[in-house]
């Protein structure tokens, strides 16, 4: 089906009710008493989920960069996962906008660092990430800061350590970026060559 829709989307959509595919799959799975794999092609709930930073940024800017087929054609929806260590600031910025929060890019980058650090401490649910974003936004103008999440003493220590490590990584990347801007040939494009005698 995916190959057919890529070849001639309009023809396939005129011939088949693709948005019914998931519903039909659910009926069959229930009748034969099997579970549908989460990563099932097209109809699995992870089929159109995007997680990593640069990948999520590309999806937010232009979905066709990573999706050859449109999830809407199949009655599915795209999801950019933002509650993980791999999240990028563009995914968090998109989520903040969905929550109706006005934040600068620097503020979004700072809260992204906090979400990544918290994901190193414990698994985050969507509600946890939303709470971190909302609380961070609230704390920007509050006279008394609220904690991002309720943490045990051990989790607070792990969070502080993870946050420091991520800040060091971020600072190192920024220094490298600035050095690349000033260099004739950026470090990423330099190639090591062996001297053959």
The alpha carbon torsion through 104, 109, 115, 119 (nearest 10 deg) reads: 160
Q: Is 137 a catalytic residue?
A: no
CB-facing half-sphere around the CA of 96: CA atoms within 13 A: 26
Helix (H, G, I), strand (E, B) or coil at 33: coil
Task: State the catalytic residue, choosing from 50, 55, 137, 138.
Answer: 55
Residue recorded with tokens 């009710």: 17
Q: Following DSSP, what letter does each residue of 101-155 receive, concatenated? A: ----HHHHHHHHHHHHHHHHHS---HHHHHHHHHHHHHHHH-SSPPPSS---HHH
CA distances from 73 to 38, 67, 69, 112, 113 (A): 19, 12, 8, 32, 35
Give catalytic residue positions.
55
């Amino acid at each position: 089906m995916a190959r057919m829709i890529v070849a001639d989307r309009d023809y396939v959509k005129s011939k088949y009710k693709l948005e019914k595919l998931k519903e039909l799959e659910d009926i069959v799975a229930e009748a034969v008493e099997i579970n549908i794999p989460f990563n099932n092609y097209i109809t699995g709930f992870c089929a159109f989920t995007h997680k990593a930073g640069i990948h999520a940024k590309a999806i937010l800017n232009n979905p066709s960069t990573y999706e050859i087929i449109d999830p809407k054609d199949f009655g599915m929806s795209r999801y950019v996962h933002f509650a993980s260590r791999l999240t990028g600031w563009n995914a968090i910025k998109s989520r903040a906008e969905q929550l109706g929060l006005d934040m600068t890019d620097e503020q979004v980058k700072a809260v992204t660092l906090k979400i990544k650090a918290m994901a190193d401490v414990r698994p985050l649910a969507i509600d946890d990430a939303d709470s971190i974003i909302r609380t961070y936004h609230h704390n920007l103008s509050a006279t008394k800061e609220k904690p991002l999440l309720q943490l045990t003493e051990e989790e607070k220590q792990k969070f502080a350590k993870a946050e420091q490590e991520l800040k060091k990584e971020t600072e190192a990347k920024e220094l490298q970026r600035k050095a690349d801007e000033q260099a004739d040939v950026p470090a990423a494009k330099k190639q090591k060559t062996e001297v053959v005698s």
